[in-house]
């Protein structure tokens, strides 16, 4: 009887569930949320698939403290790959040919495979931006579905031989900014808006052999978009129109002091001050006083050249001090870069001028500067230096790729080494608990 009683009860419960199954949920909605990309009907290239770490690593060189090699999945072993970057969710992103993979919590995943077009950038939320080869449309991949934007969405096709520049920038409103050879563009979640040089208050080029390049930065302390301008002709920069600023309503120039010159890099420190280069001079903007402070560099090292022409790299350390690379020019050409640490308005030269243009300075989680110097297949092996009291100390002669060095959210430094059996992934993990 006890068994039959429970059977009757469960039968009654099942009928009750079936009778209310057709009721709609009070929290469901058929309206998509605002500022959300709505995917078009297009089959994804490949859904995300977890790949466990390979139990047997490829042959690796002897471990060089404090660096450690990372085990690779089988589909990356004996392959060439590059680092796309690290996102705020803790993922490291790598690209091998037309395949993009991620590493998170010791698990590899394929995010995208066999895509066509030109990779434009990895957004901070993990969205991948890809332009068609002819620039007629642009698409995003969120890991599961595509969204493609055309002229119907405000995207303006590029002219022949023009391209979308690599790099996407986000602002406080969730808008995405990028640059092309002809303009600056912003996507607001629904459509595109195009800003031509005339819209930004810039003067016409005047010379056909010149081309104008744009660099974009979001300035958090001002809630503004800054665009650096630079003229290119032949191998190097030849001036520009300085910095222009967009406050969400209108464009204006930075000031008379910075309304000319080539500017390709802008960096904001944790105090809200903005550092940037204009031609061969370093500048700092103070938001509180709305003032522009100039840091004139010293004369180039003896024998290197006659003047500094460009500031291509600015790296800020944990003390909000800039480390700047300056390009040396003279005698009809440019022949190297000099790395300086600007401390209390003093310029401290780090190492001799570099003629290869391939090195990268990274500040780790505890504030230590590391300099990665490119290795080359014709014999120069490259090197890693730890900078102590402004003196570079050689740590390793690994043949690394200086462009494939990135810092993740936890302060770890990831880089690629060229091994005999393919590329290898290495990491620097400092103890931040001290």
Across the chain, mean pLDDT equals: 81
pLDDT band at residue 342 using 50, 70 and 90 as cut-offs = very high
pLDDT band at 398 (very low <50, low <70, confident <90, very high): confident
pLDDT score at 376: 66
Please state, in angstroms and rounded to a whole number, the distance separating the CA atoms of residues 331 and 349.
Answer: 23
Q: What's the pTM?
A: 0.82
Most confident option among 17-31, 198-212, 344-358, 385-399: 385-399
Q: How many CB atoms lie within 10 A of CB 107?
A: 12
Q: Which of 29-43, 120-134, 328-342, 401-415 has the lowest mean pLDDT?
A: 29-43
Query: DSSP string spanning 239-281?
Result: --B-EEEE-SS-EEES-STTSSB----EEE-TTS-EEEEETTE
pLDDT confidence bin for 359, thresholds 50/70/90: confident
Pick the most confident of 25-29, 224-228, 299-303, 331-335. 224-228
pLDDT, tens digit, for every residue of 73-130?
877 877 888 999 999 999 999 998 889 999 998 899 999 988 899 999 999 999 999 9
pLDDT tens-digit map of 175-206: 999 999 999 999 999 999 999 999 999 988 76
According to the model, what pLDDT value does residue 106 have? 85
User: Which of 151-183 are b and which e, b meaning 16 or more Cβ less than 10 Å from the residue's Cβ?
Assistant: eeebbeebeeeebbbeebbebeeebbbbbbbbb
Question: Do 242 and 290 touch, CB atoms closer than 8 A?
Answer: no
The least confident of 44-58, 151-165, 336-350 is 44-58
Count of CB atoms situated within 10 Å of the CB of 352: 11
Residue 300 in contact with residue 328, Cβ under 8 Å? yes
> What mean pLDDT do residues 135-144 have?
95
d(CA 412, CA 415): 10
Q: Over range 363-390, report the average pLDDT.
A: 83
Q: At residue 404, does pLDDT exceed 50?
A: yes
């Amino acid at each position: 009887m006890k068994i039959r009683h429970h059977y009757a009860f469960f039968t009654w419960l099942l009928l009750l569930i079936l009778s209310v199954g057709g009721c709609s949920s009070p929290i469901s909605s058929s309206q998509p949320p605002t500022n959300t990309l709505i995917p078009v009907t297009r089959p994804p290239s490949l859904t995300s698939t977890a790949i466990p770490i390979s139990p047997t690593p490829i042959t690796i060189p002897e471990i060089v403290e404090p660096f450690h090699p990372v085990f690779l999945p089988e589909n990356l072993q004996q392959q060439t790959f590059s680092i796309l970057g690290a996102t705020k969710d803790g993922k490291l992103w790598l690209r091998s040919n037309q395949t993009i993979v991620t590493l998170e919590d010791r698990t590899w995943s394929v995010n995208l495979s066999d895509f066509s077009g030109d990779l434009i950038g990895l957004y901070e939320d993990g969205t991948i931006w890809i332009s068609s080869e002819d620039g007629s449309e642009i698409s995003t991949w969120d890991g599961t579905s595509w969204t493609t934007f055309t002229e119907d969405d405000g995207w303006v096709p590029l002219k022949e031989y023009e391209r979308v520049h690599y790099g996407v920038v986000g602002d406080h409103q969730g808008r995405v900014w990028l640059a092309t050879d002809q303009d600056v563009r912003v996507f607001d979640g629904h459509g595109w808006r195009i800003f031509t040089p005339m819209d930004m208050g810039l003067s016409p080029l005047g010379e056909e052999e010149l081309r104008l390049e744009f660099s974009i930065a979001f300035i958090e302390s001002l809630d503004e978009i800054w665009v650096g301008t630079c003229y290119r002709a032949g191998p190097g920069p030849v001036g520009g129109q300085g910095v222009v600023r967009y406050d969400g309503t209108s464009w204006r120039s930075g000031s008379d002091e910075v309304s000319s010159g080539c500017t390709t890099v802008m960096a904001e420190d944790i105090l809200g001050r903005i550092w940037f280069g204009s031609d061969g001079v370093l500048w700092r903007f103070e938001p509180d006083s709305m003032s522009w402070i100039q840091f004139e560099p010293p004369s180039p090292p003896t024998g290197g050249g006659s003047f500094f022409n460009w500031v291509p790299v600015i790296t800020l350390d944990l003390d909000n001090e800039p480390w700047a690379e300056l390009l040396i020019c003279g005698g009809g050409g440019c022949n190297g870069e000099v790395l300086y640490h600007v401390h209390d308005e003093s310029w401290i030269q780090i190492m001799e001028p570099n003629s290869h243009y391939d090195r990268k300075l990274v500040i780790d989680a505890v504030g230590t500067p590391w300099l990665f110097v490119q290795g080359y297949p014709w014999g120069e092996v490259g090197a890693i230096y730890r900078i102590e009291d402004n003196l570079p100390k050689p740590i390793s002669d690994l043949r690394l790729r200086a462009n494939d060095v990135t810092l993740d959210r936890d302060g770890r430094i990831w880089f690629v080494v060229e091994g005999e059996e393919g590329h290898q992934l290495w990491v620097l993990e400092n103890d931040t608990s001290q």
